[in-house]
A and B are shown apart, each in its own frame.
Chain A
Amino acid sequence: MNQSILRRVALAVGAPFAAVVFAVALSSVVLLISGNNPYNAFSDMLENASRLETFVDILNNATPLYISGIAAAIGFRMNLFNIGVEGQYLIAAFFAAAVGSAGFVVDLPAPLHVAVILLVAMSVGAAWAGVAGALKVTRGINEVISTIMLNFIAVGGVIAWLLVEFQDDSGASNSGTTPLAASGRLPSLNRVLETVTREIGKGRELTGVLIIAVVVGIGYHLFINRTRLGFDFRASGYNPMAARAGGVPPKRMIMYAMLLSGAVAGLVGMFEVLSDKGQYSQSFVRGIGFNGIAVALIGRNNSVGIAVGALLFGFLSTSSGILQITGSATPEIVEIMKGIIVLSAVVAYEVVRRIRLRDEAKSAAEATERRDDSVPVEGSEVPA
């Protein structure tokens, strides 16, 4: 019994670990071929990561990735592929920044101001994802295609159009929304972190959105694993027909999942909107949506797993900077590592899943045989 638990744990942890080892090995080969010393490169990366400032960088990097990963995972749990987190967070960030700097909202006190911004972001993200949900439910359009198209429409169309309308007055080349007032920004968490560490230098600030990410992560875990609605989500994901026979309306679940996924996606851009940049501009950070999908895949849609994945990706992203500086390897190697990790992780998970199924089938069969054996024994004991 104990051994089987050990085996299960080993299998669960082993898969992502194997993926990372495989990625390190493969990228070492790539580095060797391209004339770099992999040992130097990796030791530079690790040494760099052990600095407090880098640690803050990693956390800052991982925070939006984590939220994005959760957004993707909500869909994945239902076998719904919301590839549109990218578009949803951008359009949500834009509206949040625009509304946050407009009209009466500007004069709200700090907590309320931030709350309004968050609310707008979540609603807009949900609405944009909801379009894809509605198209799937009413017209049967595959959500993969529709969310991708909506990404392009959001970025190339809606935002491009509205950015002109909401532009900050000046004719600056890098135009954006009017920067938020101080009341609409989240304070950094440097003080909190500094209670356990030394003072954070080099002007690094730990984003306050980290708290939102933690709340989202815990909320996601409780919702999916502990609530009735979360159960309905998962049931639909496992087998929509059986779920329907069990009283779970499949179309409504699809809508709920898309709306929820979009609402969480809406929070992804907050780390920039609520920071001292405080606006949506042409140079607003992109690509977190797609990386979030990667992180969700690495983390197996599990709230802790996604956190590990996000930190790993954050670490890799930060490492490219140090490789640039030390010159021990080309910084682009981290991009390859990300790709390899994702691909090998999904393969490893599938392999592990099959091993686990075989194990279970075997133990169930054993249970059947054991009982069969025991029946005649009991029978023979009765007359004696």
Chain B
Amino acid sequence: MTAAIELIGITKRFPGVIANDDVNLTVQRGEIHAICGENGAGKSTLMKMLYGMQAPDEGQMLIDGEPVSLSSPSDAIARGIGMVHQHFMLADQLTVLENVILGSEPTNGIGMIDFREARRHFDEVGESYGLTIDPDDLVETLEVGERQRVEIIKVLFRGAQILILDEPTAVLVPQEVEELFRNMRDLKAKGATILFIDHKLQEVLEIADSITVLRQGKTIATVDPKDVTAGDLAELMVGSELPVPDTTDSTVTDEVSLDVHGLTVLDADKRRVVDDVSLIIRRGEIVGIAGVEGNGQHELVSAIIGTMTPESGTVSLNGNDLATRSVRERREAGMAYVPQDRHVEGLLLDAPLWENIALGHQTEKPFSKGIWIDRGGTRARTEEICDWYDVRTPNVDVSAHALSGGNQQKLILGREITTNPDLLSASHPTRGIDVGAQAAVWDHLRTARAGGLATLLISADLEELIGLSDTIVVMFHGKLVATLDPADVTPRVLGAYMTGAHLDDDSPGGVAPPTHPEATTTDSVGVQP
């Protein structure tokens, strides 16, 4: 029996990076095959090449035993390959049906869409794979899990027999993950081949028939899940030099730096996205906030830095109430901010590096003198930052666009830390950057902490949270539901709090005394916006 997919010696280079280096992969028909690897291991590039979005520089691709060269997604679709992207490719303002049929619309002679036929086929696909969703709903009204189902239907609608799922569980809550896995098993039973990317090892072991591990663009091993443990997999993924963020001696002092009390933020629909949050961070302390994304972390940080106006509550730094101050006044008072998405809130992509470095500090020395921008001072400082933080760039006049993600991130971190702030709010500081840069960022955060910096760390990476934080608080549905000691908390316990599952769990373990009395009232979790 020929394999569904066979990749031989696939290599793909980007300027400055080898994304895939001699990758070999065999996926049997009708199996669920997982691809594991760290961020930057080259998983997504591999999947994009399989779906015709990028062409390999070297190597051969065989689908059902036939050598193919895919130059566009259409080619891939014609070969029976479908892809569910990590960031859903759905138009919010279109209906489910419209999203699904797009590109393979059943039409009559004059180009008019045959909606009856479309609906029939849609229902047929949905029924045979047990995927239910109303075809007439607008996509914007759907939950995340439902959107993913639309994406899967989209692929099946085209008769795909090979499904590529790019980190399908990253955006899902546990119940949705169970639902997804049920669907995946149904699909397999109907003869589909599934290739999925993941780096949550427990999940991989639960669902996959075989697992291929990628590291730094190379295929390290293909293993049977029955033969390995999560620990084995982790070792394969990171090699010997796992950058573990270890906590050295505590540098926490008694001096309160940030004091947030009773903070409530409403969204456009008047829902309480941050609900009566109180939090204290001391000098030299890193407080990590754990939580599934979208539970109010971003709004909490935004209200602290001042880009969002809270409904009520106070924010004070070193005893000064800043709740009504502007972002600039807060920055001048000693707040710094590493945003969750460097391209959205972090950088002026078209501006040179030195202007990016001045951003946020343009009222302070050495970036300005009186009403004038101090170009010389700013450039000199930029060169220093590039040096200290190992930002690799030909000079400080290139635009921020030109830098890789890791270098951009180090640039932002350098900008925010070198002005000696009292408080740093860092959201996902190592997201999407390579392992080397990640270790560097962690080092910088630890050094700054030793220097007395109070840090609010938000991260989806539990290793990072546990490794760096002095205290971990869990945010769920806009509330802080638990305060935990990273020294004896496990990812499993954290996960239970993050998903609200601890409500059914008798022994979550490791619950430290609360920072504020109201911070640990776990029974308040039930109160839903």
Q: Which residues of B come within 8 Å of A, CB atoms?
A: 14-17, 305, 307, 326-332, 337, 339, 344-351, 355, 358-360, 362-363, 368, 371-373, 375, 390, 392-394, 398-399, 401-404, 407
CA–CA, A254 and B98, complex, Å: 38
- A contact residues around B347 at 8 Å (CB): 239, 242
Q: Is the CB of A368 within 8 A of B345?
A: no
Q: Is the CB of A226 within 8 A of B359?
A: no
CA–CA, A231 and B351, complex, Å: 11
Please pick, from B349, B358, B404, the residue contacting A364 in the complex, using a CB distance under 8 A: B404
Q: Is the CB of A245 within 8 A of B360?
A: yes
A17 interfacial contact with B, CB 8 Å: no
Q: Is the CB of B401 within 8 A of A368?
A: no
The contact size tier of chain A is: 20 to 34
Q: Which residues of A come within 8 Å of B, CB atoms?
A: 225-232, 234-235, 238-239, 241-249, 357, 360-369, 371
Q: Is the CB of B351 within 8 A of A238?
A: yes
Q: Is the CB of A364 within 8 A of B344?
A: no
- B contact residues around A242 at 8 Å (CB): 339, 344-348, 359
Q: Is the CB of B355 within 8 A of A231?
A: yes
Q: Is the CB of B392 within 8 A of A247?
A: no
Q: Is the CB of A247 within 8 A of B404?
A: no
**With known contacts A245-B337, A367-B392, A357–B344 Cβ distance under 8 A:** no
CA–CA, A227 and B363, complex, Å: 10
Q: Is the CB of B401 within 8 A of A360?
A: yes
Q: Is the CB of B348 within 8 A of A364?
A: no
Q: Identify the closest chain B residue to A362 (Cβ).
A: B15
**With known contacts A231-B355, A242-B347, A364–B393 Cβ distance under 8 A:** yes
CA–CA, A287 and B411, complex, Å: 46
**With known contacts A227-B373, A363-B394, A243–B359 Cβ distance under 8 A:** yes
How far is the CB of B342 from the nearest CB of chain A, in Å?
Answer: 9
CA–CA, A226 and B244, complex, Å: 45
Q: Is the CB of B358 within 8 A of A231?
A: yes
Q: Identify the closest chain B residue to A236 (Cβ).
A: B348
How far is the CB of A57 from the nearest CB of chain B, in Å?
Answer: 38
Q: Is the CB of B392 within 8 A of A228?
A: no
Q: Is the CB of B392 within 8 A of A371?
A: yes
Q: Is the CB of B372 within 8 A of A239?
A: no
**With known contacts A238-B348, A371-B392, A364–B403 Cβ distance under 8 A:** yes
Q: Is the CB of A245 within 8 A of B402?
A: no
Q: Is the CB of A357 within 8 A of B399?
A: yes
Given contacts A238-B348, A371-B392, 10 further A-B pairs with CB under 8 A are A235-B359, A238-B350, A241-B345, A242-B346, A245-B307, A245-B346, A357-B401, A357-B402, A363-B398, A364-B392
Q: Is the CB of B15 within 8 A of A361?
A: yes
Main secondary structure of the interface of A (DSSP, over half): helix
Q: Identify the closest chain A residue to B369 (Cβ).
A: A228
**With known contacts A232-B362, A361-B401, A366–B328 Cβ distance under 8 A:** no
Q: Is the CB of A245 within 8 A of B372?
A: no
- A contact residues around B339 at 8 Å (CB): 242, 245
- B contact residues around A369 at 8 Å (CB): 16
Q: Identify the closest chain A residue to B345 (Cβ).
A: A245
Q: Is the CB of A364 within 8 A of B371?
A: no
CA–CA, A302 and B226, complex, Å: 66
Q: Is the CB of B351 within 8 A of A244?
A: no
Q: Is the CB of B362 within 8 A of A246?
A: yes
What are 23 A-B interface contacts by the 8 Å CB criterion?
Answer: A226-B373, A228-B362, A228-B363, A231-B358, A231-B362, A234-B355, A235-B351, A238-B350, A238-B351, A241-B344, A241-B345, A245-B346, A248-B327, A357-B399, A357-B401, A360-B398, A361-B402, A364-B398, A364-B402, A365-B15, A366-B394, A367-B394, A368-B407
The 8 closest A-B pairs by CB, nearest first: A365-B16, A247-B328, A360-B402, A365-B15, A246-B360, A238-B348, A246-B359, A364-B402
CA–CA, A226 and B372, complex, Å: 6
Q: Is the CB of A244 within 8 A of B362?
A: no
Q: Identify the closest chain A residue to B348 (Cβ).
A: A238
Q: Is the CB of B16 within 8 A of A235?
A: no
**With known contacts A239-B348, A368-B16, A244–B368 Cβ distance under 8 A:** no
- A contact residues around B14 at 8 Å (CB): 365
- B contact residues around A360 at 8 Å (CB): 394, 398-399, 401-402
CA–CA, A235 and B305, complex, Å: 18
CA–CA, A368 and B404, complex, Å: 9
Q: Identify the closest chain A residue to B358 (Cβ).
A: A231
How far is the CB of A333 from the nearest CB of chain B, in Å?
Answer: 36
How far is the CB of B19 from the nearest CB of chain A, in Å?
Answer: 13
How far is the CB of A188 from the nearest CB of chain B, in Å?
Answer: 35
CA–CA, A235 and B393, complex, Å: 21
Q: Is the CB of B371 within 8 A of A229?
A: yes
Please pick, from B330, B348, B375, the residue contacting A235 in the complex, using a CB distance under 8 A: B348
Please pick, from B326, B345, B375, B390, the residue contacting A249 in the complex, using a CB distance under 8 A: B326
